[in-house]
Amino acid sequence: MVADPTFHRATVQPAADDARDPAAPEADPAGAAAGDLPRGRKGRSGAWQVAGVAGRGAPRAMDAARWPVTGPAADGAAARTRVALLNSADPRGLKVGGIETYTRDYLELHPDDIEILFVGPDEIGDLQPGRVNDVLFRGRRIGFLPLFRLDDSTNRYPDTIAGSETFRFARCLWRNRGLLRGVLRDGGYSAEVRRPEYAPILWWLGVPVFTMVHLWGDGTKPQSGILARRPWLRTATEFAAAAVSEKFYSVNPDYTARYAKRYRPFAARFDTLTTWANTRMFRPLPFRRDGPLRLVFAGRTDAFKRLDIMLAVVARLRAAGHAVEFHFVGDGDLAAVEGHGPVADCVVTHGRCDAAGVAGIIGGADIGLLTSEFEGMPRFAIECVASGRPVVALHLPQLEAMFATGHAGTLVARGPDQVAALAEAILALQARIRAGETAPETVAVAAESHRPERLLGRIWDAHRGLAARRSF
Chain segment 191-241, per-residue pLDDT in tens: 999 999 999 999 999 999 999 986 555 555 555 555 666 778 888 999 999
Mean pLDDT, residues 94-113 taken together: 88
Cα(263)–Cα(267) distance, integer angstroms: 6
For residue 234, which phi and psi values (nearest 5 degrees)? -60, -45
What is the model's pLDDT at position 291? 93
Which residues have C-beta within 8 Å of that of residue 390, sequence separation ≥ 6? 367, 368, 384, 407, 408, 409, 410, 429, 433, 438, 443
Nearest to 116 by CA among 106, 130, 124: 106
If one compares 58 and 261, the residue with the highest pLDDT of the two is 261
Q: In which band, very low, low, confident or very high, does the pLDDT at 245 lie, cut at 50, 70 and 90?
A: very high
Q: What is the pLDDT of residues 58-88, one digit of tens each?
A: 222 223 333 333 333 333 334 589 999 999 9
If one compares 38 and 92, the residue with the highest pLDDT of the two is 92
What is the model's pLDDT at position 410? 97
Using the predicted structure, report yes or no on whether residue 6 has a pLDDT greater than 50: no
Range of lowest pLDDT (131-135, 203-207, 294-298, 353-357):
353-357
Q: In which band, very low, low, confident or very high, does the pLDDT at 375 lie, cut at 50, 70 and 90?
A: confident
Proportion of the chain above pLDDT 90, given as a percent: 60
| HEC profile of the chain | CECCCCCCCCCCCCCCCCCCCCCCCCCCCCCCCCCCCCCCCCCCCCCCECCCCCCCCCCCCCCHHHCCCCCHHHHCCCCCEEEEEECCCCCCCCCCCHHHHHHHHHHHHCCCCEEEEEEEEECCCCCCCCCCEEEEECCEEEEEEEEEECCCCCCCCCCCHHHCHHHHHHHHHHHCHHHHHHHHHCCCCEEEECCHHHHHHHHHCCCCEEEECCCCCCCCCCCCCCHHHCHHHHHHHHHHHHHHCCEEEECCHHHHHHHHHHCHHHHHHEEECCCCCCCCCCCCCCCCCCCCEEEEEECCCCHHHCHHHHHHHHHHHHHCCCCEEEEEECCCCHHHCCCCHHHHHHEEEEECCCHHHHHHHHHCCCEEEECCCCCCCCHHHHHHHHCCCCEEEECCHHHHHHHCCCCCEEEECCCCCHHHHHHHHHHHHHHHHHCCCCCHHHHHHCCHHHCHHHHHHHHHHHHHHHHHHHCC
Range of lowest pLDDT (95-109, 298-312, 380-394):
95-109
Q: What is the pLDDT of residues 276-300, one digit of tens each?
A: 889 889 999 999 988 999 999 998 8
**Spatial contact of 124 and 20, defined as CB atoms under 8 Å apart:** no
**Spatial contact of 409 and 367, defined as CB atoms under 8 Å apart:** yes
What is the model's pLDDT at position 133? 97
Counting beta carbons within 10 angstroms of the beta carbon of residue 319, is it exposed (0 to 12), middle (13 to 18) or buried (19 or more)? exposed
What is the model's pLDDT at position 226? 59
Using the predicted structure, report yes or no on whether residue 41 has a pLDDT greater than 50: no
Using the predicted structure, report yes or no on whether residue 417 has a pLDDT greater than 60: yes
Q: In which band, very low, low, confident or very high, does the pLDDT at 23 lie, cut at 50, 70 and 90?
A: very low
Q: In which band, very low, low, confident or very high, does the pLDDT at 99 lie, cut at 50, 70 and 90?
A: confident
Cα(258)–Cα(372) distance, integer angstroms: 20
**Spatial contact of 470 and 69, defined as CB atoms under 8 Å apart:** yes
Mean pLDDT, residues 334-357 taken together: 93
Q: In which band, very low, low, confident or very high, does the pLDDT at 420 lie, cut at 50, 70 and 90?
A: very high
Cα(402)–Cα(379) distance, integer angstroms: 12
Which CATH class for the 293-450 domain?
alpha beta
Please state, in angstroms and as integers, the Cα–Cα distance from residue 370 to each residue in 242, 299, 393, 461, following that order.
31, 10, 5, 33
What is the model's pLDDT at position 153? 55
Q: Is 64-276+451-470's fold the same as 293-450's?
A: yes
Which residues have C-beta within 8 Å of that of residue 459, sequence separation ≥ 6? 192, 210, 247, 249, 273
Q: In which band, very low, low, confident or very high, does the pLDDT at 1 lie, cut at 50, 70 and 90?
A: low
If one compares 14 and 311, the residue with the highest pLDDT of the two is 311
Cα(320)–Cα(451) distance, integer angstroms: 38
Proportion of the chain above pLDDT 70, given as a percent: 78
What is the model's pLDDT at position 253? 87
Mean pLDDT, residues 142-152 taken together: 90
Average pLDDT taken over every residue of the chain:
82
Using the predicted structure, report yes or no on whether residue 53 has a pLDDT greater than 60: no
Cα(272)–Cα(340) distance, integer angstroms: 37
What is the model's pLDDT at position 13? 47
Cα(307)–Cα(371) distance, integer angstroms: 7
Q: What is the pLDDT of residues 312-338, one digit of tens each?
A: 999 999 999 999 999 999 888 899 999
| Maximum average pLDDT range among 35-49, 203-217, 343-357, 407-421 | 407-421
If one compares 339 and 26, the residue with the highest pLDDT of the two is 339
What is the model's pLDDT at position 25? 36
CATH of domain 64-276+451-470: 3.40.50.2000
Q: In what order do the strands lie in the sheet with 133-137?
A: 133-137, 140-149, 114-122, 81-86, 190-193, 209-212, 247-250, 270-272
> What is the torsion angle, in degrees rounded to the nearest 10, for the CA atoms of residue 41, residue 46, residue 47 and residue 52?
0
Domain residue ranges in the chain: 64-276+451-470, 293-450
What is the model's pLDDT at position 219? 53
Render the burial of 88-114: b for 16+ CB within 10 Å, e for the rest. Answer: bbbbbbbbbbbbbbbbbbbbbbbeeee
